Structure formats: structure tokens, C-alpha cells
């Protein structure tokens, strides 16, 4: 394993964190667009914009040259936002060797096509083993050395076990799964629920309200995820419930932050304009709602969050509606 060359594409908080974890096990290269970020990582071993206060491993090497980063890679890790994912992957295609595994870190859907990131990888790079790394992974805590767990999912049980050791580092524990669809959708869909929870938090809702929204949200996520081909038990695991709890409760959660600001009466332009990092739930909401309609799954929380994000209604009005919805059997939507 120590002879594997791993390239992580994306110099944001999670891409930098994953590259740092991998660097403890095997040669790790980080590609980033911003020359200043690359210089900072190589010279000072920091990335203050995305990981303030963190010290990165001396062995981590960063570059702006995509070709050189990819050409000799034995594993490629994609930490690219969903709406730029395909564009970067098309550049990767010009340089990557055959059969190199490609792992996605991105928890979003492509606008228009509604495709998951692993579906895009399969379409652009046919023949390459494809996987996803997902779970309750707040970058600031992990880079600080706090205990955390994640899941790497690939259909090939042999390759996934080999890669498990690449990402396991210190107190960061990796579990394996062969349910790529379920693990990937868990990371995507929980972002919408986190926005809903944030809307409540922004209006002063209590712990009981938050718990109710998370629980009913997990039911929506599971219904849609299973309809799309995921396994129900996956959504009760780290890539489902675990990721949702972290994203819906942590002050570090970008999607919860968006919801809080909406709950306080601010508009989307102001909120997004102040953010350095991407809140994938905002980008994915239209695709998620379209998929729910396509698969004929009733998702009232997804629907109401989308209406707020699109400006059709206010967070206050929508959140009160969520609380007043008529309750039926717990196994039913609503």
C-alpha cells in the first residue's frame, strides 16, 4: 500500500483533509486550482482559508498542474463540487492510466442530468473501478485528530478492502460497504434535511423539534434512497443516519448554516454571497425533488425546503406548515 500514489483533486476543507490523512500512509498529491493555496500548502503546510489553525503533513505535496497530478496516480480521489465535477473529470480523462480506481467525496447531484457523481465517473471513465467515501465527516474535527468513522463503498469487495487501508489513519476509522447507491444518496439527501433543521434552529426551535425533523427526514431519505436502488440498512448506518446527525446538529455544517440564516429571514443571495465553501444541499435541491417525483415518492420536507430555496415562500411560513401537517402512521409520509 505504501507504494500507491494517491491523488486528491480539490483543495477545499474535505479534499485537503483526506489528502492529509492519506499522506500518513502513502505518497499523496493534492491538486488545487488556486496557486496561492498550493504555495501555502507546500511552503507553510497550512490551508488557512479552509482549515484555519490546522497543520498539514510535511509529506503532502500540492500542485496546480492537473496532468502531472493525475498521470502517475494509482488512485484518484475527487473532492470537486458537484457542478464542476464533470468538467474536471473530462480533463482527468486526458491523463489518467487505465483501470485506476476513482473515489468520490462529493455529496451532491449534477444539475440537469440529476446524476450521482459515481454515475458521472462511470460515464466519463468507463472501465475504472468507482467508489464513494461518505459518512459523518466534519473536516475541522478530523484534521484536529478527533475520532471519526466513515464508509468507503465500491461494488468490488476486493478492491474496497485494499482501499480501506489507504484512508484509515489514526482515529479515523473506515468501514467497507458494497452499496454504492445507498452510501452516495445518504450523503446527498441529508443535506436537504439539514437545511430544514437549520430553518427551525434559526427560529428558536427546541431539541424536540430538531429530533422530530431529523427522524422524519431520515424516513424520507430512506424511502427515496430505496426506491432509487439503495439498501434500507445503509440509511441506518454511518453514510445515512450518522452523516445526517452530524450535518443537522453541528455548527460546522454549511447546509444547517444556510437553513439558520433562512430561518432568521435572510435571502439566499446574501447567504451564499458570504460563504467561502459550497452548501451542496442548495445546489442539489431541484434535482432531489425531481427524482422524488420521478420515482413517485412523497417527500414533504424536501418539497418545502425547495420552495423556500426557490423563493416561493418564506422559511417561517414553511416551517410552521411542517409542524402543523396532519400526522398519520409513523411508517407513512408526512
Rounded to the nearest 10 degrees, the angle between the axes of helix 180-202 and helix 207-227 is 150
Q: Please give the angle made by the CA atoms of 220, 222 and 228, to the nearest 5 degrees.
A: 105
CA distance 206 to 249: 12
Q: Which of 59, 94, 107, 190 is catalytic?
A: 190
Phi, psi dihedral angles at 172 (to 5 degrees) = -95, 105
Question: CA dist 211 to 49, 313, 329, Å?
Answer: 32, 24, 18
Q: Is 190 a catalytic residue?
A: yes
User: Which of 21, 26, 24, 32 has the alpha carbon at shortest distance from 6?
Assistant: 26
Non-local (6+) Cβ contacts of 26 within 8 A are: 1, 2, 3, 4, 5, 6, 166
Measured between alpha carbons, how far is 10 from 4 in angstroms, rounded to an integer? 19
User: Is 176 strand, coil or helix?
Assistant: strand
SS3 61: strand
Grid cell of 245 as nine digits: 446527525
Q: β-strand 130-134 against 148-154: which pairing, if any?
A: antiparallel
Catalytic positions: 190
Amino acid at each position: 500500500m505504501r507504494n500507491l500514489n494517491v491523488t486528491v483533486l480539490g483543495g477545499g476543507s474535505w479534499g485537503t483533509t483526506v489528502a492529509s490523512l492519506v499522506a500518513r500512509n502513502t505518497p499523496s498529491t493534492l491538486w488545487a486550482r488556486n496557486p496561492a493555496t498550493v504555495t501555502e500548502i507546500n511552503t507553510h503546510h497550512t490551508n488557512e482559508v479552509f482549515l484555519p489553525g490546522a497543520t498539514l503533513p510535511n509529506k503532502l505535496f500540492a500542485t496546480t498542474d492537473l496532468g502531472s497530478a493525475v498521470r502517475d496516480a494509482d488512485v484518484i480521489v475527487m473532492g470537486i463540487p458537484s457542478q464542476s465535477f464533470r468538467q474536471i473529470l473530462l480533463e482527468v480523462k486526458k491523463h489518467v492510466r487505465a483501470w485506476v480506481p476513482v473515489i468520490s467525496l462529493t455529496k451532491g447531484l449534477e444539475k440537469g442530468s440529476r446524476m450521482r457523481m459515481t454515475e458521472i465517473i462511470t460515464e466519463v471513465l468507463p472501465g475504472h473501478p468507482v467508489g464513494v467515501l461518505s459518512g459523518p465527516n466534519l473536516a475541522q474535527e478530523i484534521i484536529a485528530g478527533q475520532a471519526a468513522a466513515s464508509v468507503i463503498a465500491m461494488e468490488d469487495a476486493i478492491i474496497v478492502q485494499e482501499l480501506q487501508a489507504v484512508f484509515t489513519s489514526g482515529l479515523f476509522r473506515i468501514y467497507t460497504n458494497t452499496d454504492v447507491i445507498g452510501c452516495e444518496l445518504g450523503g446527498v439527501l441529508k443535506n436537504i434535511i439539514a437545511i430544514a433543521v437549520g430553518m427551525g434552529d434559526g427560529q428558536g426551535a427546541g431539541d424536540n423539534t430538531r429530533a422530530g425533523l431529523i427522524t422524519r427526514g431520515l424516513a424520507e431519505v430512506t424511502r427515496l434512497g430505496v426506491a432509487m436502488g439503495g439498501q434500507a440498512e445503509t440509511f441506518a448506518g454511518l453514510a445515512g443516519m450518522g452523516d445526517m446527525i452530524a450535518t443537522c446538529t453541528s455548527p460546522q455544517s454549511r447546509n444547517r448554516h444556510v437553513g439558520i440564516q433562512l430561518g432568521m429571514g435572510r435571502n439566499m443571495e446574501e447567504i451564499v454571497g458570504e460563504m467561502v465553501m459550497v452548501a451542496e444541499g442548495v445546489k442539489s435541491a431541484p434535482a432531489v425533488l425531481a427524482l422524488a417525483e420521478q420515482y413517485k415518492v412523497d417527500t414533504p420536507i424536501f418539497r418545502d425546503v425547495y420552495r423556500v430555496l426557490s423563493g416561493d415562500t418564506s422559511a417561517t411560513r414553511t416551517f410552521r406548515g411542517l409542524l402543523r401537517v396532519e400526522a398519520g402512521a409513523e411508517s407513512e409520509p408526512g
